[in-house]
Amino acid sequence: MSGLKMEKQNVKDMLLNPIVIATFAGLFIWLFQDWMPQIATGTNDYGYNIYHAVLRVDQTLPVFYRFVTFLSPLASPVAWLAIGMTLAGISIKEASKEKDAWYYSLVKIGFVPVVNLVLLMILVSVGILNISNDGFAAMMIMMATPAATVATAFAIGFDKEQVLASNASLLSTVVAVFTMPLWIVIIEIVQSMGIFG
């Protein structure tokens, strides 16, 4: 979205982006937490110490962790505020006239879940995947959800098609309100067929 091309001089800027650094740091910490310095965080039923990696803040710094968990649910509402500010100058009637936003919404809420359903059924029937009913339901519901607000936040942040992104987010949310019950019924019907374990 920033317009940077995959050229030699831009790779450094892309890799040193704070979001990329934080993502890889988190992955590294998660993968290697058993080899990091450990702290005793309590005892088990037999009186032995329970150890966790220093950076497992949910166990080593529970007060800080609670503070962070209070902040994390604010990410989507803040993006919704930004979307609302972008849409403030546009009426819902005008937003509903945006053909590209409708096209995106229908593809995201209708076509993508259908493709996901077909692929999952094929992969399970040929034995490549083994998915439980709960896993299947979770995947289908995720695929049938509206546009991610973070994409709209990026569009607003980089001043790229803000109105289109906001319209797509709005319309896909409205469409999802009506289609989500239909998808739940479809999920129940497919689960009753016994395809997924």
pTM as predicted: 0.60
- Convert the pLDDT of each residue in 176-193 to its tens digit: 888 989 999 998 998 888
pLDDT digits (tens, 9 = 90+) for 23-66: 999 899 889 988 888 888 888 888 888 888 888 888 888 888 88
Average pLDDT score, the chain: 83
Residue with tokens 């059924």: 121
| Rg over CA atoms, the chain | 22
Task: Give me the residue spans of the domains in the chain.
Answer: 1-60, 74-197
pLDDT the model gives residue 175: 86
Are the C-beta atoms of residues 195 and 124 closer than 8 Å to each other?
yes
What would the mean pLDDT of 160-170 be, rounded to a whole number? 81
Q: What's the CA gap between 163 and 167, in Å, rounded?
A: 6
pLDDT for the residue numbered 1: 61
Distances (CA, A) of 20 to 17, 96, 138: 5, 35, 27
Q: Average the pLDDT over 77-83 and give the result.
A: 74
pLDDT band at 114 (very low <50, low <70, confident <90, very high): very high
